[in-house]
Structure 1
Amino acid sequence: MQRSILLVIAAAAFATACSPAPRPRPAAVPARATTASVDREQTADQQIAHALNRLTFGARPGDAEQIRGTGLDQWIEQQLRPERIDDSALNRFLSANYLTLELKPAALEQKWPPPGQLLNQAAARGGATRADSARLRDSNQGLRQITTEVQSARVARAVLSERQLQEVMTDFWLNHFSVYEAKGPRERYMLSEYENRVIRPNVFGNFRTLLGAVAKSEAMLFYLDNWQSQADSDHPRLTVAGGRGGRGTAAGRGAVGGRGAPPAPVQQPGQRPRQGLNENYGRELLELHTLGVDGGYKQADVINAARALTGWTIRGAPQGGGFQFQPFMHDAGSKLFLGQTLAAGRGIEDGEAVLDIVARHPATATHIAFKLARRFVADTPSTALVARAAAMFTNSGGDIRETVRVIVMSPEFFGRAAYRSKVKSPFEVVTSAARALGAPGDPTPRTAGFVATLGQPIYGHQAPNGWPETGDQWMNTGAILNRINFGMVVAANRLPGASPTAFKDADILQAATRELQVDGVIDALLGGDASAATRAVLVSGENPMAKNLPPFPDPADPAMGPPPAGRGGRAGRGGAGGRAGAPPTTPGVGGRGMAQLPPLRGLALVVGLALGSPEFQRR
């Protein structure tokens, strides 16, 4: 009973803003004055801590001092121009540690063919030989390598990149245009190109350009099945090439991966696609990627968007892969889309017109502005801020950089209500801990495995709506316990490269009194602000919830992957295998690699408790 009460109290603490307890501190160095600073409710120190929490994946030792020297507004402007920031150290790390990131999907598929394809080939020859078995093992190992490298590199970029706001925006757009690595082996071939050539180069560019790049990406075409969508049998085709455009039995609207259905059975790009219209991408284009669920479209618009995008498909790997438009698959009939007529007899122009229409639609401006404001300011941003950001989006023709600038330089962004108002996702918890404790980057699957253990496997969200962006979806009693446990694991040197003595004056603090240790840890890890309750926990060295915590699932096993996918591609939209925040392995119940931690003492204990505190778990 007492433990249940403690869980409820802790959940309430995470669900409300952390009120810092005042204590004597040295006089703060003011942020560089700007014309906008008069509208900011946060103190100068809070502004810097807030910017580091929202515009980066957490402060590293020395970051706050660097911003004080540069000036906060100038630093924000630098982050809005990532192409001007030297990131050569990160690039050297990536080049030295990852073998698959630069390979095209077709090259990866040729090197490591899908296991199912190899089995089918062996069966067609009358049975598998030893050589077939060896090649199958090699293919499975290759697919694991592809997946673990793209996941590990994603974390490494978030931890090491000097272009922090670009990485935050990459995370935002990868979640907005979400894809699922377990859709099939071919999705894994496509992930690195999707992240590094489609999303990251366009995070601050023009929204229409980004939308078009996503629409033509192999990853999105495959994930939402548009690569196999073609005109229904009762609609005219654009051309008939070698009999391939003949009429056949329609699959039926929604029959292949429709609303609430699991992903469609995997078929090989380059083969003749199943006949019939597939609405998956047309629906998500409107509901998730552009207008939003309340954007004023109708089911007829979903159907006609899907019709306009028929023929947008993928070349087979032997032909080099990549996007191609297949006229014989295209629905050549006229279409009425959001009140505009697309004339009969057109080809790829139909799909381009649909993207043009939705990109400049007022509902899209509002939807994108709302999601950006929710990411950077508050779970429920003000209508005034959303309206200003939407106006900039519209007036600039979809300029993402200018839209973000309106938000992150706004009075709302620097308001008292925004400070520590958002809960970190598991990805943010792990990367911010790594940055706070000086981790140099981890080329192994281990750090990315911690993200999965906390409930957010990278590229592991099955439904197309992406991971939650609001705190209530991440915080429950089980998630709180796992985050507290994770803090202790990190303080025990189990997060590669992260040291509980990495911050300034840590060596001196190791021999200091507990009170001085607490002061130093609050300054170093919690931005100088901690509630009276948190301070009491750090001084006592005991978190009531941390008593008798079960062993923490250890992701050391390279084969550790995302949890089993939940049934239904869109049903529930809770994530992969259950509610967001739930770990893929229940701590203390079976499983492999449970972390048995040595008792923590002294400064390491204070650091571990601080990492599990509400202040560190919020941003």
Structure 2
Amino acid sequence: MKALLKFFYIPLIALSGLIFFSSFLSSNSDALTSAYKKARLTDREAALHLLNRFTYGVRSQDIDNALKMGLNNWLNDQLKGNLNDDDLQNRLKSYDAINLSNAEVEETYPKGAKILRMAIKDGFIDKDSVNKGDKKEYREKLQAYMQQKGLKPQQELYRQFISQKILRATYSNNQLREVLTDFWFNHFNVSLTKPDCAMYIPAYERDVIRPNVFGKFDNLLISTTKSPAMLYYLDNFSSQANESEQQQNMMGMMEKRVGNDKNKLAALEKLKKSKKAQGLNENYAREVMELHTLGVDGGYTQTDVTQAARVLTGWTINPTDNDGYGGAFQKIIDKVGKDKLEEKGFVFDGDFLFAENRHDTGDKIVLGKKFSNNGYKEGVDLLEMLAHNPSTAKFITTKIAVRFVGDNPSKTIIDKMTKTFLSKDGDIKQILLTMVEAPEFWSKDALREKTKSPFELAISSVRSLDADLVQPYQLYGWINKMGQKMYYYQAPTGFPDRAQYWINTGALLNRMNFGLALASQKIQGVKINLASLNNNHEPESSEAALKTYGKIIMPDRNLDETVKRLTPLLTDPDLVKKIDNAASKNTAPTSISESNEDMMMSNTETAVKPKGNKKYGNTANQKSFGDNSMLAQVVGVIIGSPEFQKR
């Protein structure tokens, strides 16, 4: 009898679970559908908007595919972020550096100063010859030494790292994961401009940011805090307790004993500067409040910053070799032993180390909460407190809304998202669902309200043209030229996320340049077959090409105004000549046509070809599609048009 009951009971449990899950999906689906129906959007308009917000570019087939599977199912797949990515993985196979641990990176891609020290130690270079004699010969010796030791320049590491980002954004089926990886990296920004942290940035994005983009905000916050990239970038790796009163009194006694001896005074001054440099560093404590959690108006004071910095003393790097800063710690670890240090309160966690001997053991008060002598746990408790603060909830959800809704999201949608942040323990996935189920997300005013960053423009362009990126790094030069030097933004704020930062006359010209260069296949290593996008059917004229390729590149949009705006530009008999003239001068561009000034959203000039590239097109009067010259101009103008700049 029990066996019989078990036979029926287990399937019933499974069935009930399936029913519950199905009803959950149905409920979500109803909420999502109801939200965009309230905004009076059609299914296709809703699909386009969802794809514009949660991918790096809508391809012509994407809308039909999303509608076929159902928008809610499409969104759920994206929120899981585990779709098959075999094509992407095949493209990434040759990038061997992007999977290295931080220790392996230090070993294979060491800093230049370390290579020099190694070469001098091994007798490969005479230390007295450094910065003297033939620089070419000196560089050749260093290169020979690197080859002999199997060392590689750090620039190669960064090249692979940047290339993998471009490939992931272009080809990953898990588009939302990549969009969120970019968003959260920008929020917790670190920069290749700071040499100490640069080599740790690839692992920072791979192991800290990307795995946590759908999780809880507090986990993401704590993980970034403990990363070597962040510890070096905002200097917390060197922060330690200031001198005790007893140590300060001892320094005073030494000053009295020194008297007027100039040599001893100079030595003492050097010692004092060294002590000061090794003391409390408030950089990270300030930025974790202002930029990562509470926001500039989050209700904290300078005293809170100082107290928080004291709480986080001793949070540093677990050394991976005996060179540089980590050398001193490594000697302590080797001498005392890891087990004994852990007994004394040290914490080893991958590349992170909590050094108990550097921690401020006194009482601290941050935002009214007292932190006593509790070692590593103090820092965790502080970060948890900041992560769950109502000011943090509002600040973070506002940034998410600015990224996914519009430059000026309504207070009502921010309030809804903030409420979810607080009630769902900072669950990022739940916050996104609340946003998508809000009618404000689907407002007519929100459609194509966001302006693409240079990176978004470049990736959406190659996605819409079904490009084959054989050398993805070539795109990086253009993205940089358009104003976004990826991973090199120096300030901890990260790149701004509003239109006024990206759009000005010079930027628009560079965007048009990019469109023409891409479509004309002037970007090395980026292969495009424009004819295949239209099933190898040749348009009868430039006007016909504009309509046909406009629909391919910007699907499900009303292009009547776009065609009207761009047609006079394409029918200008001197178009190619004017582009060639502007390109050959390589200086300020010349006006293309008074009647087309509105094409670039302002009184701007025609595109200027980047220095070093060949001229676009052939002759001023050539209108043939046989060699794709005019078709390339049509496609380039579409990509450079104001409409394509929006998502």
User: What interval of TM-score do these two structures reach, taking the shorter chain for normalisation?
Assistant: 0.7 to 0.9
1:109 corresponds to 2:106: yes
Whole-angstrom distance in 2 between the partners of 1:131 and 1:161:
42
**Residue aligning to 1:499:** 528
DSSP 3-state at the match of 1:113 = coil
DSSP 3-state at the match of 2:365 = strand
**Residue aligning to 1:431:** 459
- Bigger Rg, structure 1 or 2: 2
1:593 corresponds to 2:592: no
TM-superposed deviation, 1:512:
2.8
Kept in 1, the 8 Å contact 2:32–2:437? The answer is: no
Whole-angstrom distance in 1 between the partners of 2:32 and 2:489:
43
TM-superposed deviation, 1:525:
1.1
DSSP 3-state at the match of 2:570 = coil
TM-superposed deviation, 1:40:
2.8
**Residue aligning to 1:28:** none
Kept in 2, the 8 Å contact 1:105–1:190? The answer is: yes
1:304 corresponds to 2:323: no
TM-superposed deviation, 1:503:
6.3
**Distance change >3 Å, CA 472–CA 537, structure 1 → 2:** same
Question: Quick one: which of 362, 383, 396 aligns to 1:333?
Answer: 362
1:63 corresponds to 2:62: yes
Question: Quick one: which of 216, 220, 223 aligns to 2:226?
Answer: 216
Whole-angstrom distance in 1 between the partners of 2:165 and 2:387:
28
1:80 corresponds to 2:79: yes
TM-superposed deviation, 1:172:
0.3
DSSP 3-state at the match of 2:97 = coil
**Distance change >3 Å, CA 408–CA 472, structure 1 → 2:** same
TM-superposed deviation, 1:543:
9.3
Whole-angstrom distance in 1 between the partners of 2:425 and 2:584:
49
Whole-angstrom distance in 1 between the partners of 2:553 and 2:630:
16
Question: Could you say which structure has the higher helix fraction?
Answer: 2
* Alpha-carbon displacement from aligned partner over 1:41-74 (angstroms, at most 9, x marks no partner): 3333222222221110001241122112112222
Whole-angstrom distance in 1 between the partners of 2:277 and 2:445:
53
**Residue aligning to 2:394:** 366
TM-superposed deviation, 1:311:
0.7
Kept in 1, the 8 Å contact 2:221–2:383? The answer is: yes
Match for 1:72: what amino acid? L
**Distance change >3 Å, CA 397–CA 43, structure 1 → 2:** same
DSSP 3-state at the match of 1:101 = helix
Kept in 1, the 8 Å contact 2:215–2:428? The answer is: yes
**Distance change >3 Å, CA 64–CA 359, structure 1 → 2:** same
**Distance change >3 Å, CA 193–CA 605, structure 1 → 2:** same
Question: Where do 5+ consecutive residues of structure 1 fail to align?
Answer: 1-30, 238-244, 250-270, 555-586
Whole-angstrom distance in 2 between the partners of 1:219 and 1:502:
45
**Residue aligning to 1:571:** none
TM-score of the two chains, using structure 1 as the length reference: 0.78
Match for 2:223: what amino acid? A
**Distance change >3 Å, CA 543–CA 468, structure 1 → 2:** farther
* Alpha-carbon displacement from aligned partner over 1:572-619 (angstroms, at most 9, x marks no partner): xxxxxxxxxxxxxxx979x96345333574322221111001111111
1:462 corresponds to 2:490: yes
DSSP 3-state at the match of 1:301 = helix
The 5 Å alignment of 1:433-582 reads 433-495=461-523, 496-499=525-528, 501=530, 504-508=533-537, 510-530=538-558, 532-542=560-570, 547-548=578-579, 550-551=582-583
The 5 Å alignment of 1:348-367 reads 348-367=376-395
Question: Quick one: which of 155, 162, 184 aligns to 1:151?
Answer: 162
Kept in 1, the 8 Å contact 2:161–2:202? The answer is: yes
TM-superposed deviation, 1:233:
1.6
The 5 Å alignment of 1:171-250 reads 171-184=182-195, 186-234=196-244
TM-superposed deviation, 1:485:
1.1
Match for 1:233: what amino acid? E
Question: Quick one: which of 304, 317, 323 aligns to 2:352?
Answer: 323
Whole-angstrom distance in 2 between the partners of 1:503 and 1:414:
34
DSSP 3-state at the match of 1:542 = helix
Whole-angstrom distance in 2 between the partners of 1:225 and 1:193:
18
**Residue aligning to 1:89:** 87
Match for 1:222: what amino acid? Y
TM-score of the two chains, using structure 2 as the length reference: 0.75
**Residue aligning to 2:37:** 38
**Residue aligning to 2:279:** 276
Kept in 1, the 8 Å contact 2:467–2:527? The answer is: yes
* Alpha-carbon displacement from aligned partner over 1:125-146 (angstroms, at most 9, x marks no partner): 6446875553368899520110
Structure with greater contact order relative to length (CA < 8 Å, sep ≥ 6) = 1
Match for 2:279: what amino acid? G
* Alpha-carbon displacement from aligned partner over 1:364-403 (angstroms, at most 9, x marks no partner): 0001110000000010100110010011011000100000
Whole-angstrom distance in 2 between the partners of 1:596 and 1:154:
30
* Alpha-carbon displacement from aligned partner over 1:195-235 (angstroms, at most 9, x marks no partner): 11100000000111111110001111111111111111247
Whole-angstrom distance in 2 between the partners of 1:595 and 1:384:
52
TM-superposed deviation, 1:536:
2.5
TM-superposed deviation, 1:35:
3.8
Whole-angstrom distance in 1 between the partners of 2:241 and 2:141:
42
Match for 1:203: what amino acid? V
TM-superposed deviation, 1:533:
4.8
Match for 1:192: what amino acid? P
* Alpha-carbon displacement from aligned partner over 1:297-331 (angstroms, at most 9, x marks no partner): 11111111111111111122227971111111111
Kept in 2, the 8 Å contact 1:231–1:276? The answer is: yes
DSSP 3-state at the match of 1:597 = coil
Question: Quick one: which of 274, 283, 289 aligns to 1:286?
Answer: 289
* Alpha-carbon displacement from aligned partner over 1:67-103 (angstroms, at most 9, x marks no partner): 12112222112211113x1123212221x22010111
Kept in 2, the 8 Å contact 1:32–1:72? The answer is: no
**Residue aligning to 1:610:** 638
Identity, % of aligned pairs?
35
Match for 2:408: what amino acid? T
Greater shift, 284-293 or 594-603, is seen at: 594-603
Whole-angstrom distance in 2 between the partners of 1:394 and 1:208:
12
Match for 2:101: what amino acid? K
Kept in 1, the 8 Å contact 2:208–2:223? The answer is: yes
TM-superposed deviation, 1:500:
5.5
**Distance change >3 Å, CA 43–CA 595, structure 1 → 2:** farther
Whole-angstrom distance in 1 between the partners of 2:379 and 2:585:
46
Kept in 2, the 8 Å contact 1:160–1:441? The answer is: no
**Residue aligning to 1:52:** 51
**Distance change >3 Å, CA 593–CA 548, structure 1 → 2:** closer
